């Protein structure tokens, strides 16, 4: 506990140098962070920058307004053949249902709370058909369908449900414009939580 005047002085100098260096380094890191913009107030900023081009193969998000829909197109007639080859084994001939859900038809939703939800009686957006088919189907080999095939299958399902005409072409422009029968059938449960 006994400390000479000299050592007190030395440690004070040391301390002030330390403070100076700390402020300098902190300022440097702060400035550096602002310049390059990757230091977070909460975290160490270790995320590796990646370009949208490098994410492209994973980016299969389709929004209801059509954002994200790829180039390509398809018709019900084309979709019918693909469906028979790749989908009917589970969803039944012409989507009438099998070990997996029926894709055509459906009861009115006023039939009861347990009414089976279908494309025709429930799905509010046609883009969801494209999105789910592309990301998840066929069940054993997901994401093996080409964009053309997904457009064609989407056209086939919509056409079989009489939501679009038999000859209508589905593509990035036409698909988001398809008006689903139950588009206005929804109520947000907690409206204040919807952005």
Binding mask 54-83 for other proteins (x = CB under 8 A): -x--xxxxxxxx-x----------------
Residues 6+ apart with CB under 8 A from 45: 33, 38, 39
Q: Is 114 in the site for other proteins (CB under 8 A)?
A: yes
Q: Is 165 in the site for other proteins (CB under 8 A)?
A: no
Options 136, 166, 167, 179; binder of other proteins; rule CB under 8 A: 136
Rounded (10°) angle between helices 147-160 and 127-136: 130
Options 131, 150, 154, 161; binder of other proteins; rule CB under 8 A: 131
Options 104, 120, 125, 153; binder of other proteins; rule CB under 8 A: 125
Give CA–CA dist 165/158, Å, rounded: 8
DSSP string, 76-132: HHHHHHHHHHHTHHHH-GGGS-SSS---S----GGG-TTPPP-TTTT---THHHHHH
Q: Is 194 in the site for other proteins (CB under 8 A)?
A: yes
Q: Is 3 in the site for other proteins (CB under 8 A)?
A: no
- Least distance from other proteins to the Cβ atom of residue 88, Å: 14
Q: Which residue has the tokens 């883009």?
A: 127
Token pair in block for residue 63: 């929004």
Spacing of C-alpha 189 from chain mean position: 22
Q: Which residues bind other proteins (CB under 8 A)?
A: 37-38, 40-52, 55, 58-65, 67, 90, 99-100, 108-110, 112-115, 117, 122-125, 127-128, 131-132, 135-136, 139-140, 142-143, 185-190, 193-195
């Amino acid at each position: 506990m006994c400390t000479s005047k000299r050592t007190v002085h030395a440690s004070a100098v040391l301390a002030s140098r330390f403070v100076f260096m700390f402020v300098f380094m902190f300022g440097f890191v702060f400035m550096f962070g602002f310049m390059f913009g990757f230091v977070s107030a909460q975290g160490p900023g270790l995320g590796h920058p990646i370009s949208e081009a490098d994410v492209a193969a994973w980016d299969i998000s389709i929004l209801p307004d059509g954002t994200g829909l790829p180039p390509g197109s398809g018709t019900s007639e084309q979709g019918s053949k693909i469906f028979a080859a790749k989908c009917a084994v589970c969803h039944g001939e012409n989507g009438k249902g099998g070990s997996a859900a029926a894709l055509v038809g459906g009861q009115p939703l006023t039939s009861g709370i347990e009414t089976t939800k279908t494309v025709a009686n429930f799905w509010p957006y046609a883009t969801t058909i494209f999105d789910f088919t592309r990301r998840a189907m066929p069940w054993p080999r997901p994401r093996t369908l080409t964009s053309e095939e997904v457009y064609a299958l989407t056209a086939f399902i919509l056409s079989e449900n009489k939501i679009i005409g038999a000859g209508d072409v589905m593509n990035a422009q036409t698909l988001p414009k398809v008006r689903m029968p139950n588009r206005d059938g929804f109520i947000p449960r907690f409206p204040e939580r919807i952005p």
